[in-house]
Amino acid sequence: MQLRYSFLEPLSRLCALACAVLVAFLMVAAPKGPEGYVVETVDIPDEITLGVGGLAFHPSGALFITTREGQVWRLKGQDWQLFADGLHEVLGIYIDPVSEDIWVMQRPELTQLVDRDGDGRADVYRTITAAWGLTDNYHEYAFGLVRDAEGSFYGTLNTSLSWVGWAGSSKWDIGRVHDGKMGRAARYRGWSFKVTPQGEFIPWSMGMRSPAGLGMNRHGEIFYTDNQGDWNGSSTLQHVVKGRFHGHPSSLMDHPEFAGKDLNAISVDAYREMRTPPAVYFIHGDLANSPGEPVFDETAGQFGPFEDQIFVGDQTRSNLMRIVLEKVQGAYQGAIFNFIEGLQSGVVRNQFNEQGVLYVGQTGRGWRSAGDKIFGLQTVRWDRQTTPVEMLSIGLTTRGFEIRFTQPMDMKALADASHYEIEHWHYLYRPEYGSPKADRTKVVPERIEVTHDGMRVHCQMPQLEGKVYQFRLNGMQSRSGRPLTNPIGWYTLNKRRLSDLR
C-alpha cells in the first residue's frame, strides 16, 4: 500500500509553506495501513465531478452516489449513469432494500426520487418534508440519512456561521451564545430530526454544531459525528437520543422550554450540566480534524476481525479510523484508533457492500484535505487471509484498562511497563473555538498483567472520569515478529466501571 500526502488550495504563501512542511513530514512518517488490507481507486470518467455527499447500495448491487454538485450517479460495474440532477448539495441517500425506493437529503428538503417511466433516470422529485429553516448562509448543511425499522427517517442540520468576523455579514448574526462563532439563523439549526412514514417532522435532539455524519447500528441506535469548533473542544462521536442536549446552545432557541429566554443569561456551567458528554473524542490534529459518516462493520467477518466496530473517515486528514464502543453505567464510551492514512482526498462517506468491501467516498473542494485529488472514490478490501497486528480494543475494568490484540503478542515486551507511554487530559467545554489538551498528565501503570495466550493485557491504574486516555505501545510485536501497525489508541472515559460483568 503506497500512502502519500499533499495539500490543495493554499490560502496564502505562509499557509502554502506550512502545508509543504506538513506534507513532507507525513510522507516520511505516516504509517502503512494494516497488513491484509488493499486500497484500490475507482476510475471516474473525466466529465464527472464527483464531490461525494452520500453512498448507498441498490438491491441490484449498483452503487448510488450523491454529490455536493447536486447530482445522483448510479455505478454498476464500469457503467456510470446519471440518475438525477438539479438538486442542492445532496449529503445523504437511503435506498429501501425491498421496495427499491430512493430518498435523498438535500439542503432544503428530504426528497423521494422516482423513476416513473423506467428509463433509469428520476423524473419525479417528491418533497417528503421541508420543515426546517434555510437561509443563504453557506454553513447550513443538511445531513443524513438513516431509517429505522418502522420506516422513519433521521437526519441532522448544521448551525449557521453567524459571527460577523467570519460570515462577513450581520444578517446571520442570530442565536450566538456567549460570543460563539455559530448561531441559528433559521429554524432547527443544530438539531437532529425524525420524519415519520406519514411525513411528520419531529425535532429529536439538539445542541449539534456541525453534525457531518450519521450512522445506525443493527440495534437501531443512532450515532453522529460532530466537528471541532465553538462549544466543541475536539471532534466527537455522540449517541443520538430523543431530547438529548449535545452541547451547542444556539439550537435551544427552538426548544419550547427556552422560548423567550435570553440564552446569553444562562451560564456556561449551566449548559455543561445539561450537556450529555460525547461517547468518543476524536483527537484533533493527531487523528482527525473533520470526521464524516460512522459506518458499522456488520459484514460477518468479511472485513477482518473488527465486527461491530465503527469505521469513520476524516475529511481533512484523508484517513480512516475505527471505534470500539462499550456501555458503562448505561451510556456509551470507548476507544478510537487510526486505521489507514494516505487516501487520495477527504473522506466523508463510507459504505460496505454485500461482499464486505468498504467503499470510501471523498471530497476536498473548498474544505481542503490531504491527498492530491479534489474528489474521488476508493475501496478498502481485506484479503481474508492475513490477520493484521493491531490493538483490537481498549476497555475498562474495575481496576484499570484491558487492551486486547488481534494476534498473540510477544509476552516479554507486553509485560514490560517501560513499553507503555500513557497520559490523560480533558477538553474544555466553552464557547471559544476548540480546546487545548487541558491538564495533560502522564500515568505509570501500577501493575501489568498479561494473559497466558498473549492476547490481552491489563493495566492497573486509577481511572478519572471526564478524561481522554492515550495509550502508546512502543516496541510491541506479535509472536511472529510483526510490529503493531497502529501503536496508539485513545479511550474516552466518561464513567468508571462498577462491575467487571460485561
pLDDT digit string, tens, across residues 320-340:
999 999 999 999 999 999 999
**Mean pLDDT of the 379-383 span:** 97
For the segment 77-103, what is each residue's pLDDT rounded down to a tens digit? 999 999 999 999 999 999 999 999 999
- So what's the pLDDT on residue 6? 29
Provide the domain count of the chain. 2
Residue 68 placed within a domain:
yes
Query: Would the pLDDT of 163 be above 50?
Result: yes
Q: How is residue 237 written as a grid cell? A: 462521536
Question: The domain spanning residue 434 has which CATH number?
Answer: 2.60.40.1220
Task: Determine the pLDDT at residue 44.
Answer: 98
> Quick one: what percent of the chain has pLDDT higher than 90?
91
Count CB atoms within 10 A of the CB of residue 433.
16
Q: Can you tell me the distance from the alpha carbon of 334 to that of 52, in angstroms, rounded to the nearest whole number?
A: 29
Nearest CA-CA partner of 484 in 454, 461, 459, 464: 454
Distance from C-alpha of 312 to C-alpha of 350, rounded to nearest angstrom:
7
* Per-residue model confidence as pLDDT tens digits over 48-61: 999 999 999 999 99
Mean pLDDT score of the chain, rounded to an integer? Answer: 92
**Residues 351 and 411 both lie in one domain:** no
Closest CA to 59 of 492, 333, 354: 354
pLDDT surpasses 70 at 9: no
pLDDT band at 365 (very low <50, low <70, confident <90, very high): confident
Q: What is the three-state SS of 372-401? A: CCCEEEEEEEECCCCCCCCEEEEEECCCEE
Q: What is the pLDDT of residue 501?
A: 55
Q: Which residues contact 300 (CB under 8 A, 6 or more apart)?
A: 307, 356
- State the SS3 of 405-433: ECCCECHHHHCCHHHEEEEEEECCCCCCE
The 10s digit of each residue's pLDDT in 385-409 is: 999 999 999 999 999 999 999 999 9
Is the bond into 343 cis (omega within 30 degrees of 0)? no
Question: Is 373 part of a structural domain of the chain?
Answer: yes
40 and 96 inside one domain: yes
Query: Does residue 194 share a domain with residue 139?
Result: yes
349 and 410: one domain? no
**212 phi-psi bin (left φ>0, alpha ψ -120 to 50, beta other):** alpha
CATH of the domain at 128: 2.120.10.30
Close Cβ partners of 27 (under 8 Å, ≥ 6 residues apart): 4, 5
Residue 500 banded pLDDT, cuts 50, 70, 90: low
Both ends of the chain: CA-CA distance in Å?
A: 37
Beta bridge partners of 332: 327
Q: Tell me the C-alpha distance between 429 and 431, whole Å.
A: 7
Cα gap 307→242, rounded to integer Å: 27
Domain residue limits at 460: 391-493
pLDDT (0 to 100) of residue 319: 96
Which pLDDT belongs to residue 392?
A: 98
Residue 500 lies in a domain: no
Instruction: Looking at the structure, tell me whether residues 299 and 435 fall in a common domain.
Output: no
Q: What is the Cα–Cα distance from 360 to 346, expressed in whole angstroms? A: 10
Q: Phi, psi at residue 355, to the nearest 5°?
A: -90, 5
Query: Do 223 and 349 reside in the same domain of the chain?
Result: yes
Question: Do 134 and 237 fall within a single domain?
Answer: yes
Same domain, 198 and 229: yes
Instruction: Kindly state the average pLDDT of the residues 221-235.
Output: 98
Domain boundary pick from 329, 348, 382: 382
The last residue of a domain, from among 382, 405, 429: 382
Which grid coordinates are listed for 132? 426546517
Is 16 part of any domain? no
* The pLDDT value given to residue 366: 78
What pLDDT, on a 0 to 100 scale, did the predictor assign at position 381? 97
Q: Residue range 257-280: average pLDDT?
A: 97
Q: Is residue 348 part of a domain?
A: yes
Asked if residue 11 has pLDDT above 80, the reply is no
Same domain, 92 and 162: yes
Domain boundary among the residues 359, 382, 405 is at 382
Q: Are residues 247 and 201 in the same domain?
A: yes
State pLDDT tens for residues 307-316.
999 999 999 9
Report the relative pairing of strands 456-460 and 63-67 from DSSP bridges: unpaired
Helix (H, G, I), strand (E, B) or coil at 93: strand
Sign of CA dihedral 363, 365, 369, 370: positive
- pLDDT above 90: residue 18: no
What confidence score (pLDDT) does residue 10 get? 33
* Residue ranges in 300-375 assigned as alpha helix (H): none
pLDDT of residue 394: 98
Is 27 part of a structural domain of the chain?
Answer: no
Give the angle 415-420-424 at the CA atoms, nearest 5°.
135
DSSP, res 436: -
- Residue 322 falls within a domain, yes or no? yes
Give a yes or no: residue 93 inside a domain.
yes
Query: Which residue type sits at 478?
Result: S
Q: Is the pLDDT of residue 28 over 50?
A: no
Residue 222 CA to residue 149 CA, distance in Å, equals: 12
| Conformational region of residue 268, where left means phi above 0, alpha means psi within -120 to 50, and beta covers everything else | alpha
Task: Provide the grid cell at 408.
Answer: 498473540
CA–CA dist 82, 72 (Å, integer): 6
Query: Closest by alpha carbon to 285, among 338, 323, 322?
Result: 338
Residue 105 and residue 221 in one domain: yes
Same domain, 373 and 474: no
Question: What pLDDT score was predicted for residue 229?
Answer: 97
